[in-house]
Amino acid sequence: MDQKGLDYCGQCSDYPCDELKAFQKERPHRINLWDDMKCLLEKGIEKWDSEVMDKYKCPTCGTINSYDLVCRKCGLKPSCKFVETNYQQIEAAMK
């Protein structure tokens, strides 16, 4: 984004561009990309960061997981709130 002098995609006049749409479809952990961009614009980067950390943090040990079905450290299943919410989509995408 630094080529356009922006901090994140949601600030761009071309948002959401075809490149970003393709990026989102490639991996299951990008399911909430659009919600994240909306949060960034409405609440700012600090609040967004806090919410993201909470979403991906293992409730047992605090390890940050992304689309890991099982926590990388303690083995909790599902590994975080994000996985709990999107379990079926992530499991299907990983096959």
Domains identified in the chain, total number: 1
Asked if residues 69 and 86 have their Cβ atoms less than 8 Å apart, the reply is: no
Total-model pTM: 0.73
Asked if residues 13 and 4 have their Cβ atoms less than 8 Å apart, the reply is: no
Distance CA 69, CA 83 (A): 6
Amino acid residing at 47? K
pLDDT at 67: 84
Structure tokens at 35: 């919600």
Domain that holds residue 86: 2-94
Amino acid residing at 43? K
Q: Which residue has the tokens 């600090």?
A: 46
Alpha-carbon dihedral sign for residues 26, 47, 41, 4 = negative
pLDDT at 28: 66
Predicted confidence pLDDT, tens digits, the chain (95 residues) = 457 888 888 889 999 999 999 988 887 668 788 888 999 999 999 999 999 999 999 999 999 998 899 999 999 999 999 999 989 888 888 77
